Chains A and B, each alone.
Chain A
Amino acid sequence: MKNLIYTALFGSIMMFSSCDDVEVPATMAMDISLEHVLDGQTLELNGKSFTLPSGEDFTPKKFKYYISNVALRNSVSGETYVEPNSYHLISEDGKKSIDLGMIPSANYDQLTFSIGVDEVANGKTDQTGDLDPNSDMAWNWNTGYKFVVLEGEFTNSNSGERQGLIIHIGTNPNFRTVTQSLTGVIAGSPTSLTLTSNLDELFKDPNILQLSELESTTIMFGEMAGKVAENYSEGFITVK
Chain B
Amino acid sequence: MKKLSKLILSLPLVWACTSGEDPVISEPKIHYYIPEVSSTLQVAGFPQPERNMLSEEGVALGKRLYFDPNLSGNGKVSCATCHSPSLAFTDGLALAKHGVSGKGLHRTSPPLFNLAWQSEGLFWDGGAHDLESLNFAPLTHPDEMGADLNELISYLESDPVYKEQFEFVFSEGQIQSAQISRAISQYVRSLISQDSKYDRWKRSEAELTELELTGYQLYQKNCSSCHQEGLFTDRSFHNNGLDKAYPNPPALEGLYQGRFRITSNPEDMGAYKTPTLRNIVLTAPYMHDGRFQTLEEVLDHYQNGIQVNETLAPALSEGIKLSTTERVAIIAFLNTLTDSLFIQKHQK
Q: Which of B140, B178, B261 meets A127, CB within 8 Å?
A: B178
Query: Which residues of the other chain, A, contact B6 by a CB distance below 8 angstroms?
Result: none
Looking at chain A's contact residues, the main secondary structure is loop
- Listed stretches B30-38, B125-133, B235-243, B335-343; interface member: B125-133
B295 contacts the other chain (CB 8 A): no
Q: Measured between C-beta atoms, what is the minimum distance from B203 to chain A in Å?
A: 36
Point out the residues of chain B lying under 8 angstroms from A1, CB to CB.
19-20
| Complex interface bits, B127-153 against A, C-beta within 8 A gives 1, otherwise 0 | 111101111110011000000011000
A4–B20 CB distance below 8 A: yes
Please report the C-alpha to C-alpha distance between residue A1 and residue B21 in the assembled complex, in whole angstroms.
Answer: 8
Contacts of B181 in A (CB 8 A): 126
Q: Which residue of A3, A138, A142, A220 contacts B262 across the interface (Cβ within 8 Å)? A: A142
Q: Assess whether B173 is interfacial by the CB under 8 Å rule.
A: no
Q: In the complex, what distance in Å separates the CA atom of A123 from the CA atom of B185?
A: 16
B20:A141 contact, CB within 8 angstroms: no
B177 within 8 A of A: yes
Chain B contacts with A in 252-287, Cβ cutoff 8 A: 253-254, 261-262, 264
Q: What CA separation (Å) do A123 and B128 show in the bound complex? A: 9
Q: How far is the CA of A216 from the CA of B250 in the complex (A)?
A: 7
What residues of chain A lie closer than 8 Å to B130, measured between beta carbons? 124, 143
Q: Which residue of A lies closest to B149 (CB)?
A: A134
- Does B227 touch A at the CB level, under 8 Å? no
Within 8 A of A (CB), among B9-27: 19-20
Contact of B137 among A3, A124, A141 (CB under 8 A): A141
- Chain A residues whose CB sits within 8 angstroms of the CB of B177 once the complex forms: 126, 132-134
Which residues of the other chain, B, contact A142 by a CB distance below 8 angstroms?
Answer: 127-128, 261-262
Q: Mark A167-194, 1 if CB is under 8 A from B, else 0.
A: 0000000000000000000000000000
In the bound assembly, the distance between CA atoms of A2 and B127 in angstroms comes to: 32
> For B251, what are the chain A residues with a Cβ–Cβ distance below 8 Å?
218
Count chain B residues whose beta carbon lies closer than 8 angstroms to a beta carbon of A. Answer: 32
Instruction: Report the minimum CB–CB distance from A182 to chain B (whole Å).
Output: 31
Bound CA span A140–B134, Å = 7
Q: B182 in the interface, Cβ–Cβ < 8 Å?
A: yes
In the complex, whether B117 has a CB less than 8 A from a CB of chain A is no
B265 to A: closest C-beta gap in Å = 12
CB distance B178 to A143 under 8 Å? no
Interface string of A200-224 (1 = CB under 8 A from B): 0000000000000000101011100
A-B contact pairs, 30 of them (CB 8 A): A1-B19, A2-B20, A3-B20, A4-B20, A123-B129, A124-B129, A124-B133, A125-B132, A126-B51, A126-B52, A126-B135, A126-B136, A126-B181, A126-B185, A127-B178, A132-B178, A133-B140, A133-B149, A134-B177, A138-B133, A138-B136, A140-B137, A140-B141, A141-B253, A143-B127, A143-B129, A143-B134, A218-B250, A221-B254, A221-B264
Listed in ascending order, the chain A residues whose CB lies under 8 Å from chain B are: 1-4, 123-128, 132-134, 138, 140-143, 216, 218, 220-222
What is B's interface to A at a CB cutoff of 8 Å? 19-20, 51-52, 123, 127-130, 132-137, 140-141, 149-150, 176-178, 181-182, 185, 250-251, 253-254, 261-262, 264
Apart from A128-B178, A140-B141: 17 A-B pairs, beta carbons within 8 A: A1-B19, A2-B20, A124-B133, A126-B133, A126-B178, A128-B176, A132-B178, A133-B140, A133-B177, A134-B150, A140-B140, A142-B261, A142-B262, A218-B253, A220-B253, A221-B253, A221-B261
5 closest pairs, A vs B, by CB? A140-B137, A134-B149, A126-B132, A126-B178, A143-B129
